[in-house]
Structure 1
Amino acid sequence: MDFRLTEEQEMIVETARRVGERFGLDYWRKQDAEKAFPAEAWKAICDAGLGGAALPEEHGGGGLGMLEMALIIEQLAAAGAGSTVGQLFMINPIFGGVSISRFGNEEMKAALLPKIISGEINCCMALTEPDAGSNTLEIKTFAREDGNGWRINGRKIWITGVEAADVMLVIARSKKVDEVKRRTDGLTMFLIDTKREGVSFAPIEKLGTNTLSSCSVFFDDVRVEQEDVIGTLHGGWPELLDILNTERIVTTAGLTGTVDLALKIAVDYANDRKIFGGRPIGSYQGIQFPLAQAHAENECARLMNYKAASLFDSGLPFGSQANTAKLIAAQACAAATERAMQTLGGMGYARESHLERLWRDCRLFRFAPVSEEMTLNFIAMHDLGMPKSY
């Protein structure tokens, strides 16, 4: 097992680092304060070939893999963006790019992938519902047959990036639960434009990740056609899982990069700040131990994420690794940002230290895109062979 990066991967890391440094801490603080989509940064990321690194070459992508994407996101997060940069890759190369490249028809690929890769259009995915949450199989949004197409009715919640999106991946029931043999049957994915008649949305006020809106989305007799179906009609569940598990990989990469950034801010301050006889506070074990613990946990999460990405790139099962990595990374990031703030004392609470934004943003990922509790359920059932607990 070789943990060394290839020369090409080293070049990708360096490119991502340089792009990230162009949009450092001050840029992201401004976008957060204005609750503004980071359009300039995302365009620069795409212009550098980073947004489409893992998408097919024939449509303008880099033809690389999820491992390279994880490396890119880590660098961008560590340069100043923090964990929310993973969401930019989540909505575009994952919800848009992976779903279309793996499950879309040829017309869909030709029309949309080049624009996603170039940053010309943005994407989002409408999955979560008020009464379903993590229990996707209980979603109520329904696609009713109507001639040669369907009419979608329902409501989604906590949908990321709708306001900036041009296309939306919608997951709906196309057959009622009592019409199928298994609850996993009867789900279909549709790809529609966000301006389609009958689609509306309302922003949700929230604590952090302010550069990407979160919205409730409403579908009122929205017309969809045969060409809007992506993947298998009535059989979208296993295809959706591939999308959701790659979502875990980009989320984790954003978190591990954020830990690197938070620890750098804390260590730089601790090594420079001198009190009680002129010794730097970084020499005290009360400061060192929590930061070292977060670093150790982060390194474990990073390696597990690389394993998940490598397995995906090899066409092998990767769900357990992706979920484990995300669990540990979210916990390490929560600890790192909290302890980094504590290291700076009162200044850690000030906006100018940037830590409060990193802390606010990463808090989301202890329950999204899947909660710690549901992740532990998954590990217990799938990795340990324990009975279902819910």
Structure 2
Amino acid sequence: MDFTLSEQHLAIDESVRRICANFGDDYWTECEEKARFPHEYHRAMADGGWLGITMPEELGGAGLGVTEAAVMMHAATSSGGGYTAASAIHINLFGPHAIVVHGTPEQKARWLGPLIKGDQKACFGVTEPDAGLDTTSIKTFARKVDGGYRITGRKMWTSSAQVADKIVILARTTPKEDCKRPTDGMSLFYTDLDRSKIEVRRIHKMGRNAVDSNAVFIDDIFVPDEDRIGEEGKGFSYILHSLNPERILVAIEAIGLGRDALRRAADYARDRKVFGRPIGQNQGIQHPLAECWANLEAAYWMCMRAGSLYDSGQSCGAEANAAKFLSGRAAFNAATQAVLTHGGMGYAREYQVERLFRESILTRIAPITEQLILSFLAEKVLDLPKSY
């Protein structure tokens, strides 16, 4: 049982931090305030070879596992960019997973190469306004026609659709009522984001404004057969393969954000003097920050355990979900305490902790709620009756 990072992991961490050091607080503040996608950061990560860390080597990727991707994303989010830095490149790590596993050689070469090089950006159209986390109830429908499909429907909370060239679409190809199981009859597509047929409406939100979130309206777009991933009707099973990696990566990204917030709080507490002494000398400041460190540390190693299990082909559903739950709360608490430690200045944009605080709540909500995680753990780990 080894609880240390390998030399490879340390090298990944160091290399990613070297790139991130070129993007300081002023850069992220400017992207946030102007709601501008961090194209320069995205390009730097692509040029460094990091956008293909989990993709096949023969296509220019590194062919590494979720654990290595987790180390990379922790370095990115803990280096000042927060959840914005994660979201700008996050989809490259889990979004194309169905293509890697179920795509044809021609599809992999056509689609993955441009993503790895950073020449194209993609977005993920799964969630719908009337379905939420009940994915089997999506209404977006792909009607079979000669040579392909015509797709119509709506998607919600589609990140980076304002700048994306491609879109992953989960759509029904068989009505739910005609399927033997509710998870049947859905198909997965990866196609051009044709803005003459797809309207992208930006959602104004609390934080992470540099990476857009959108309501997407798909109006009878034609998608050729060669843009369908795998078999018709198997789309839901394909996206299931990416759920545990996504949970692990979101969790480790939250830890990175929380650790950056905690670092900023500790730095401020050492420097800020009130009544002739550093506020960090007071146990009322020390103890909450120390507790944040302990919770972040525990959650971090749950992330790494989940990643290790996944990469070795073992079951990791419970660990991945627990990592997401623990990390989201630990990050939110650390960001909250960072604002409180700064006092009034924690409310000022200059000190960055308010930005991290606004982003931290997202790690508790998406891509799955805490309540569904607890229901999953109660049923799958504690053998309690299914509650929903």
Check whether TM > 0.5.
yes
Map 1:1-390; keep pairs closer than 5 Å. Answer: 1-96=1-96, 98-195=97-194, 197-276=196-275, 278-390=276-388
Q: Residue 232 of structure 1: CA displacement?
A: 2.9
Q: Residue 244 of structure 1: CA displacement?
A: 2.6
Structure 2 residue identity aligned to 1:106: P
The 2-side partners of 1:246 and 1:332 are apart by: 19
Q: Residue 93 of structure 1: CA displacement?
A: 2.6
Q: Residue 340 of structure 1: CA displacement?
A: 0.5
Q: Residue 389 of structure 1: CA displacement?
A: 1.3
The alpha-carbon distance between structure 1 residues 231 and 196, as it changes in their structure 2 partners (threshold 3 A), is farther
Deviations 1:238-284 (A, max 9, x none): 221122322222211211111111011100111122222x2221122
Q: Residue 315 of structure 1: CA displacement?
A: 2.2
Taking only aligned residues, the RMSD between alpha carbons, in angstroms, comes to 1.4
The 2-side partners of 1:335 and 1:131 are apart by: 31
Deviations 1:305-332 (A, max 9, x none): 1112112222222222111111111111
Structure 1 residue identity aligned to 2:318: S
Secondary structure of the 2:356 match is: helix
Q: Residue 197 of structure 1: CA displacement?
A: 4.6
The 1-side partners of 2:141 and 2:261 are apart by: 43
Gaps of 5+ in 2: none
Preserved contact between residue 156 and residue 216 of structure 2 (Cα < 8 Å):
yes
Preserved contact between residue 37 and residue 88 of structure 2 (Cα < 8 Å):
no
Preserved contact between residue 42 and residue 89 of structure 2 (Cα < 8 Å):
no
Secondary structure of the 2:367 match is: coil
The 1-side partners of 2:157 and 2:255 are apart by: 23
Q: Residue 99 of structure 1: CA displacement?
A: 2.6
Secondary structure of the 2:306 match is: helix
Deviates more, 1:340-349 or 1:280-289: 280-289
Secondary structure of the 2:154 match is: strand
Secondary structure of the 1:51 match is: helix
Q: Residue 4 of structure 1: CA displacement?
A: 2.0
Q: Residue 90 of structure 1: CA displacement?
A: 2.5
Preserved contact between residue 59 and residue 113 of structure 1 (Cα < 8 Å):
yes
Deviations 1:107-131 (A, max 9, x none): 1111121211111111111011111
TM-score (norm 2): 0.97
Deviates more, 1:141-150 or 1:200-209: 141-150
Q: Using the aligned pairs only, state the percent identity.
A: 43
Preserved contact between residue 20 and residue 77 of structure 1 (Cα < 8 Å):
no
Structure 2 residue identity aligned to 1:7: E
Preserved contact between residue 348 and residue 356 of structure 1 (Cα < 8 Å):
yes
Q: Residue 196 of structure 1: CA displacement?
A: 6.0
The 1-side partners of 2:373 and 2:362 are apart by: 15
Q: Residue 19 of structure 1: CA displacement?
A: 0.9
The 2-side partners of 1:265 and 1:29 are apart by: 16
Preserved contact between residue 35 and residue 210 of structure 2 (Cα < 8 Å):
yes
Deviations 1:124-155 (A, max 9, x none): 11011111111111111111222342211111
Structure 1 residue identity aligned to 2:101: R
Deviations 1:332-369 (A, max 9, x none): 11111111011011111100000111111121121111
The alpha-carbon distance between structure 1 residues 273 and 357, as it changes in their structure 2 partners (threshold 3 A), is same
Q: Residue 86 of structure 1: CA displacement?
A: 2.3
Preserved contact between residue 93 and residue 117 of structure 1 (Cα < 8 Å):
no
Preserved contact between residue 87 and residue 251 of structure 1 (Cα < 8 Å):
no
Structure 1 residue identity aligned to 2:155: K
The 2-side partners of 1:332 and 1:243 are apart by: 24
Preserved contact between residue 327 and residue 372 of structure 1 (Cα < 8 Å):
yes
The 2-side partners of 1:295 and 1:239 are apart by: 37
Secondary structure of the 1:234 match is: coil
Q: Residue 82 of structure 1: CA displacement?
A: 0.6
Aligned length: 388
Q: Residue 103 of structure 1: CA displacement?
A: 1.9
Structure 1 residue identity aligned to 2:320: A
Q: Residue 12 of structure 1: CA displacement?
A: 1.0
Structure 2 residue identity aligned to 1:290: P
Q: Return structure 1 stretches of 4+ with deviation > 3 angstroms.
A: none
Structure 1 residue identity aligned to 2:291: Q
